[in-house]
């Protein structure tokens, strides 16, 4: 499926990955409807950071996907739906598990119901590597067992299975993309890389949680390329596809590399406030990305060092977006 000229919906469009995906879809010539969560400030999230010539070509709609009527309205008339709308913060899911489940499971159910009702030609559902829990083997392929080590992970497992059930029960053309840890410009300080960068630029100490867990990090334009290829490929329907670099690095090593690139004398230390419950912390993530290569021809293109430097430059040029003295959950 060529996306040029297609009527496309992106839920969660005000988020980090969603905003980059909107930008890419406009470049590809799609007719884009971008859904963001309503707020009284008329704040459209990271959509506000897109170039004016991109925003002018996007129709922004607001609402709450956990409301069935909203999902039915925003999906109507769309040929392709990229479903990214979710509450994604793991520490917040400890504090508000009900809200997390409502947004992620009920929101996904409503999107699938709406896509079925309106005859949507392709739904790309967004999963997360967190559904695997701590790796039982590496690299992690799509057959790896699922384990909900946080309320967030459990909610995404539920959402993934809702999407799967609509394909198996009703023949809905759903494909599930499972990104590993994505990073890049416009990411909030909730995520580990901008957390490290924002502190390293202005403080003498970078405060983090556990330093030994490892993560598989993929630059955002590569992740977005995965979304596009999943949507375009007929072979992706009914599949779950990992999108990750097949490279892992510990949080401690990551912090050291960022500090070196920033070029300041900064210490790194662990604080109890930022540590996750021991059994909830996912210890190791490394993607087996062979299915993405085989089905989609997808491979990451941006080097890790290049990606980190782009984030450092972004945070340095947007200091007001980051509160280095706060723990962002």
Q: Which residues contact 113 (CB under 8 A, 6 or more apart)?
A: 68, 71, 72
Q: Which residues contact 320 (CB under 8 A, 6 or more apart)?
A: none
Measured from the Cβ of residue 22, the count of other Cβ atoms closer than 10 Å reads 30
**Residue 152 designated active-site:** yes
Q: Which residues contact 137 (CB under 8 A, 6 or more apart)?
A: 144
SS (H, E, C) 41-73: CCCCHHHHHCCHHHHCCEEEEEECCCCHHHHHH
Name the catalytic one among 132, 152, 183, 322: 152
* Whole-number Cα distances in Å, 110 to 70, 93, 255: 9, 21, 40
Considering only CA atoms, which of 126, 142, 127, 150 is closest in space to residue 213? 150
First to last CA, the chain: 38
Q: What is the DSSP string of 256-276?
A: HHHHHHHTS--EEEE-GGGPP
What is the token pair recorded at 143? Answer: 């057959």
Q: Do 75 and 111 contact (CB within 8 A), yes or no? A: yes
Cis amide bond preceding 139, omega within 30: yes
Q: How far apart are CA 279 and CA 147, in angstroms?
A: 11
* Whole-number Cα distances in Å, 9 to 63, 97, 104, 245: 13, 27, 17, 27
Q: How far apart are CA 36 and CA 84, in angstroms?
A: 10
> What SS3 state is found at 241?
strand
**Residues that are catalytic:** 152
């Amino acid at each position: 499926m060529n996306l040029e000229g297609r009527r496309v919906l992106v839920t969660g469009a005000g988020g980090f990955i969603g905003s980059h995906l909107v930008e890419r879809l406009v470049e590809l010539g799609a007719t884009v409807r971008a859904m963001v969560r309503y707020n009284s400030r008329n704040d459209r999230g990271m959509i506000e950071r897109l170039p004016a010539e991109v925003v002018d070509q996007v129709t922004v709609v607001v609402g709450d996907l956990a409301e069935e009527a909203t999902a039915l309205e925003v999906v109507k008339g769309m040929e392709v739906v990229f479903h990214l709308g979710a509450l994604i913060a793991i520490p917040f899911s400890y504090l508000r598990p009900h809200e997390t489940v409502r947004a992620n499971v009920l929101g996904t159910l409503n999107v699938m119901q709406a896509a079925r009702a309106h005859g949507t030609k392709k739904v790309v559902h967004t999963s997360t590597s967190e559904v695997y829990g701590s790796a039982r083997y590496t690299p992690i392929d799509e057959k790896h067992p699922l384990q909900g080590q946080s309320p967030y992970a459990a909610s995404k497992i539920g959402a993934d299975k809702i999407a799967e059930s609509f394909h198996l029960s009703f023949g809905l053309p759903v494909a599930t993309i499972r990104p590993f840890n994505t990073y890049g410009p416009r990411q909030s300080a909730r995520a580990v890389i901008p957390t490290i960068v924002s502190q390293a630029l202005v403080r003498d100490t970078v405060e983090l949680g556990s330093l030994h867990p490892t993560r598989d990090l993929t630059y955002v334009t590569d992740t977005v390329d995965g979304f596009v290829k999943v949507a375009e490929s007929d072979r992706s329907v009914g599949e779950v596809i990992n999108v990750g670099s097949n490279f892992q690095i510990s949080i401690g090593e990551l912090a050291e590399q960022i500090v070196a690139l920033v070029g300041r004398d900064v210490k790194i230390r662990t604080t109890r406030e930022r540590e996750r419950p021991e059994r909830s912390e996912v210890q190791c993530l490394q993607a087996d990305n062979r299915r993405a290569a085989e089905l989609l021809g997808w491979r990451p293109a941006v080097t890790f060092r290049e990606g980190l430097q782009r984030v450092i430059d972004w945070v340095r040029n947007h200091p007001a977006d980051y509160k280095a003295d706060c723990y962002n959950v």
